[in-house]
């Protein structure tokens, strides 16, 4: 065995990773119990940077704000830009700046949730750090995990980045207004995602034109009244 390969190191890393994940599971279960006790319904939005998470939240707030009390936890490696966009909509928001870390974990969400105390809301959106990989491994205590792929990213993404699809309940294909300009095969994206997770609810939408938004909003209304 080549001495560059560091197999012992690798084994150690895997053990440590398991430990981190199992500690996160415990905290996520506590979050989940806490959210239930407070009568909340919580969504965890996972996608690459630029897939349109914040834009979708802005359109969702515009549509639902007078109907369902909402709040948002924003995760980013750096900057308060996304929280500022949500705050401009008049919705309670906490920005978690991870200092470069590649995902939110249950502990960060727990802390952010306490910063929202004093506000009254029914639906809590957690916008994860822009990353289609690492957030998939970290349960935050959410009721609904939503994975998003935008049309410019390409319809092969479910096959190449399967982890996020395996544990999600909803798959949003975003920016469908761009379909005429891209070689994105809607049926391929759906087929690849359903092959990984046959129970996925799939909605193709555009926050810009409003296409598909009715189905997304109906899903949120159902969740809020569940």
| Smallest distance from its own copies to CB 128, Å | 12
- Phi/psi of residue 150, nearest 5 degrees: -95, 155
| Smallest distance from its own copies to CB 57, Å | 15
By C-beta, is 67 or 181 nearer to its own copies? 181
Cα 93 to Cα 162: distance, rounded to the nearest angstrom: 30
Q: What is the DSSP string of 64-94?
A: HTTTS-EEEEEEESS-SHHHHHHHTTT--EE
Give the up-direction half-sphere exposure of residue 75: CA atoms within 13 A in the CB hemisphere: 30
By C-beta, is 53 or 64 nearer to its own copies? 53
By C-beta, is 151 or 223 nearer to its own copies? 151
Which among 165, 117, 116 has a CA at the least distance from the CA of 126?
116
Q: What are the residues binding its own copies (CB under 8 A)?
A: 2, 4-6, 9-10, 13, 16, 20, 23, 27, 30, 48-50, 76-79, 81, 100, 102, 107, 110-111, 114, 129-134, 150, 152-154, 156-157, 159-163, 175, 178, 181
| Smallest distance from its own copies to CB 64, Å | 24
């Amino acid at each position: 065995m080549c001495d560059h390969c560091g197999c012992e190191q690798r084994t150690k890393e895997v053990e440590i990773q398991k430990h981190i994940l199992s500690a996160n599971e415990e905290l996520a279960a506590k979050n989940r119990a806490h959210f239930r006790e407070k009568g909340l319904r919580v969504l965890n939005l996972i996608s690459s940077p630029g897939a349109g998470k914040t834009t979708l939240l802005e359109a969702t707030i515009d549509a639902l704000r007078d109907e369902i009390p909402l709040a948002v936890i924003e995760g980013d490696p750096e900057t308060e830009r996304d929280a500022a966009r949500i705050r401009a909509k008049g919705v309670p928001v906490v920005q978690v700046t991870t200092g470069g870390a590649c995902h939110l974990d249950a502990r960060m969400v727990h802390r952010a949730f306490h910063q929202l105390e004093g506000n009254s809301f029914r639906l809590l959106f957690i916008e994860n750090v822009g990353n289609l990989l690492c957030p998939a491994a970290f349960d935050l205590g959410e009721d609904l995990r939503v994975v998003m792929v935008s049309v410019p990213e390409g319809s092969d993404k479910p096959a190449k980045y399967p982890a996020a699809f395996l544990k999600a309940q909803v798959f949003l294909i975003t920016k469908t207004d761009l379909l005429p300009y891209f070689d994105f095969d809607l049926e391929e994206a759906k087929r690849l995602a359903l092959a990984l997770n046959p129970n996925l609810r799939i909605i193709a939408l555009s926050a810009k034109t409003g296409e598909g938004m009715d189905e997304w909003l109906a899903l949120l209304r159902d969740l809020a009244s569940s």
